Amino acid sequence: MRNDNYWQKFQRQRISRRRLLAAGGVGAAGLALVAACGGDDEPTADGTPEGTPGASGAPVRGGKWAFAITVDWGTIDPVTSVATGPQIFPRIYNTLVEQSRVNPEFLYADLAEAAPEQPDAQTFIYTIRQGVKIAPNALTIPERDLDANDAKVWLDRVQADETAVPRAMTNQYLDTYEASADGRTFTINLKSPYSYFLLRLGAALGGTIPPREFFEQNISLKDQGVGAGPFMIRPGTYQETGGIVLDRNPNYYRKDEATGEQLPYIDALEAFRISDRQARRTAFQSKQIHEYGAENAAEAAQLEQDIPGLQVFEEPSNQHISFTMHPEKAPWTDERIRRAAMLALDRQQFVDLIVGTENGKIDGLVHWQLGPFALPEDELATLQPYDPAGARELIRAVTGEDTITIKVMYPITDFQFHDQHLPIWRQQMEAAGFVLDVEPLDLTAWLTRYTQLQYDSSLSANRAYETAEIPLDFHAAHGPQGDDLYAVGLGKIDAEVEAAITASKQAGSSEEHIQRVLDAQRLIYQKGPAFLPIMSWTTFDLRHGFVKNYPPGIGESDWYVNDWWLEGQPS
């Protein structure tokens, strides 16, 4: 046998799962199998489900699932939306193949029949599934089957629109793509190997494909849309600063494997805009919404006491607060000052005070939940020690004085503990000799300046890092999207760092991939990082007891899956 490349080995591991997914239906039993193998354990050899929460008895048809969103939609154009839209795009549209960020073993083949064939590391051949039929609609989109041409036109649009989300990836890696004449095969060629390609192409953020008529006939997707997903938008319910209602798509192709029933089981989804946490919790407790993200373990425990039958799902959050220094602005141009800021950080104190030692851990440049891609704790202790005295020495060496004044901006938001990070961080920095000239901004203003690099240094609000690529890319010259947004990386001023980061994305095998990611981190530590993640924690997703068979352990991929049902839901 020749040397398998990374992809071939990866694919082989997935074959046993693929069989389930490719057969055209992921019924309750099948999904339970996949879900049971989630997390960072090795997949079990046999497929026995391990008591998946919720899965019990026969599915019940009907009901409306209610959930809360916390920010405005902005737009519900799946090609350009970066805000809340991705929560509903998998429910309205389709992606080729989706891969779970939290559990790479989980693949969801949607518009494609199965994971793509890969004759080599840069070529992906998708076989398009038949029967993926568009929902009935009043937007003059015909109720036909989607085919490879829809994917092609979609990528055309991505290439043409500078605000398209997938551009971040396609700009750097996409070479050519074509749809076969019969519409059953879609082929993509990359310029170079890219370890995260499958994941990013299929992501809810930017990876869902609307029918090509929208692009060919220039029909706006800003506040309307229709696709071949499990649900369709109920006309008149979308409000840009409010919610939306989705009804079951009567043309949806998936069926319950066991019973032959058309999926989804539930009749409708409704989203409500509730930005105040207390109001959200009230809505959850009074069963006006069926899902709630608790702030911490204590809140989850309290709600468990108050609500009988509550289901609590602990999942890694992949979000963390970070401190960013603009390496092209004084005093951050000096690597010693950057290092001083790093030495000032007592990350363990953040963990202890905010989420508690059992719910979080300190982060290196790549956060701990990414397993082998994160540096081990003992190595981190030497690379990023807590040493305020050392920080003071560095400051003295650079400025000749005991303190240095720095300008910091931060967003005023109560999202994901940010307001708690601030006082702790301030005290640590001040103890290390930094005098803070603080500029609080409201979230929108902060985000704009953050993306456009108009700051000296900043505490950032929560960021979601699904793979090792993005935290490393924050050190890259052109930023995590390759378009210079957020780009305050060392890669701008140091070609060696840039080369290491690029290399980490083009590995041939998984071992090489991991090694390159680790090496890139070590190199950045040597040079004095400009982007410092602080800690990551576990989230607590709460669902009422009457929500059955909701898949845990696959992260946001659960937006694609629609095999769950509501049983005994109060009216």
Partner 1 sequence: MRRYIVRRLLQAVVSLFVLSVVVFLLLRLVPDTDPAIVRCGLTCTDASIERIREELGLNDSYLVQYGTWMRNLVTGSLGTDWQGGSVSDELQRRLPPTVELLIFTMLVTILIGVPFGIISAGYRNSAADYVARFTAVLGLAVPNFWLAALVLLIPLQLWDYSPTVTTTVGFTDDPWDNLRQIVPPAFVLGAVSAAGVMRLTRSSMLEVLGQDYIRTARSKGLREQVVISRHALKNSLIPVVTILGLQLAGLFGGAIVIEQIFNIEGVGRYFLSALLRNDYQVVQSLTLYVGVVVVLLNLFVDVIYAWLDPRIRYS
Partner 2 sequence: MSAVGAGILTTAPDLSAPASSRWRRAGTLIRTNPLGVFGLVAVLLLVVFAVFAPQIAPHDPEAFVGDGLLNPTPEHPFGTDRLGRDMFSRVVYGARVSLIVGFSAVLFGTLLGTGIGIVSGYAGGAVDSFIQRTVDTAIAFPILLLLLILRKILGASLETLIIAVGIAIVPAVARVVRGAVLSERNNQYVEAARTLGASTPRILLRHIAPNVVALSIVIMTNLLGTAILAEATLAFLGLSIPDQVTWGKDVSDARNSFPVHVWWAFFPGAAITLVVLGFNLLGDSLRDILDPRLRGRL
Please report, as ranges, the residues that interact with partner 2 according to CB under 8 A: 277-278, 295, 298-299, 302, 349, 353-354, 412, 414, 419-420, 423-424, 426-427, 438, 440, 442
Whichever of 377 and 484 has its CB closer to partner 1, that residue is: 484
Nearest to 331 by CA among 344, 340, 321: 340
Packed helices 418-431 and 335-344: angle between N→C axes, nearest 10 degrees: 110
CB of 273 to partner 2, least distance (A): 18
Among 180, 451, 462, 515, binds partner 1 (CB under 8 A): 451
Residue type, 532: L
CB of 361 to partner 1, least distance (A): 29
* Residue 243 binds: one of partner 2, partner 1, none (C-beta under 5 to 8 A by kind): partner 1
Whichever of 440 and 508 has its CB closer to partner 2, that residue is: 440
* Residue 314 binds: one of partner 1, partner 2, none (C-beta under 5 to 8 A by kind): none
Among 49, 183, 243, 372, binds partner 1 (CB under 8 A): 243
* Residue 447 binds: one of partner 2, partner 1, none (C-beta under 5 to 8 A by kind): partner 1
Whichever of 346 and 473 has its CB closer to partner 1, that residue is: 473
CB of 293 to partner 1, least distance (A): 16
> In the 8-state DSSP scheme, what is residue 564?
-
Among 16, 84, 130, 275, binds partner 1 (CB under 8 A): 275
CB of 352 to partner 1, least distance (A): 28
Whichever of 52 and 428 has its CB closer to partner 2, that residue is: 428
CA distance 318 to 383: 22
289 touches partner 1 (CB under 8 A): yes
- C-alpha angle 502/507/509, rounded to 5°? 165
Which tokens belong to 296?
């911490």
Packed helices 495-504 and 510-527: angle between N→C axes, nearest 10 degrees: 160
389 touches partner 1 (CB under 8 A): no
CB of 207 to partner 2, least distance (A): 34
Whichever of 283 and 337 has its CB closer to partner 1, that residue is: 283
Nearest to 570 by CA among 552, 549, 545: 545
CB of 271 to partner 1, least distance (A): 9
Nearest to 203 by CA among 361, 97, 322, 77: 97
Binding mask 38-67 for partner 1 (x = CB under 8 A): ----------------------------x-
Among 279, 381, 389, 435, binds partner 1 (CB under 8 A): 279
CA distance 338 to 395: 10
Other CB atoms within 10 A of residue 413 CB:
17
Among 42, 46, 306, 401, binds partner 1 (CB under 8 A): 306
485 touches partner 1 (CB under 8 A): yes
β 360-362/565-566 pair status: unpaired
Whichever of 422 and 523 has its CB closer to partner 2, that residue is: 422
CA distance 215 to 207: 15
In angstroms, the first-to-last Cα distance of the chain is 60
Three-state DSSP at 57 gives coil
Q: How far is CA 189 from CA 130, 159, 412, 449, 504, in A?
A: 23, 15, 43, 36, 20
Nearest to 190 by CA among 246, 104, 116, 257: 116
Whichever of 218 and 278 has its CB closer to partner 2, that residue is: 278
272 touches partner 1 (CB under 8 A): yes
* Residue 163 binds: one of partner 2, partner 1, none (C-beta under 5 to 8 A by kind): partner 1
CB of 502 to partner 1, least distance (A): 23
Among 56, 192, 282, 405, binds partner 1 (CB under 8 A): 282
Other CB atoms within 10 A of residue 145 CB:
17
Other CB atoms within 10 A of residue 350 CB:
24
Nearest to 536 by CA among 360, 413, 386, 392: 360
Which tokens belong to 535?
């800690």
Which tokens belong to 66?
């209610």
Helix (H) or strand (E) segment spanning residue 527: helix 510-527
Other CB atoms within 10 A of residue 123 CB:
16
* Residue 272 binds: one of partner 2, partner 1, none (C-beta under 5 to 8 A by kind): partner 1
* Residue 277 binds: one of partner 1, partner 2, none (C-beta under 5 to 8 A by kind): partner 2
* Residue 268 binds: one of partner 1, partner 2, none (C-beta under 5 to 8 A by kind): none
Say if residues 13 and 4 touch (Cβ distance below 8 Å): no
CB of 276 to partner 2, least distance (A): 8
Binding-site size, partner 1 (CB under 8 A): 34
CB of 546 to partner 2, least distance (A): 22
Residues 220-239 that bind partner 1 (CB under 8 A): none
Nearest to 155 by CA among 109, 199, 188: 188
Q: How far is CA 569 from CA 51, 284, 418, 540, in A?
A: 22, 13, 35, 22
**What is the C-alpha radius of gyration for the chain, rounded to an integer number of angstroms?**
24
Q: If 0-12 CB within 10 Å is exposed, 13-18 middle and 19+ buried, where does residue 449 land?
A: middle
CB of 542 to partner 1, least distance (A): 15
* Residue 444 binds: one of partner 1, partner 2, none (C-beta under 5 to 8 A by kind): partner 1
CB of 349 to partner 2, least distance (A): 8
571 touches partner 1 (CB under 8 A): no
Whichever of 172 and 413 has its CB closer to partner 2, that residue is: 413
Can you give the binding site for partner 1, defined by CB under 8 A?
A: 66, 68, 74, 82, 162-163, 240-243, 272-276, 278-279, 282-283, 285-289, 306, 442, 444-445, 447-448, 451-452, 483, 485
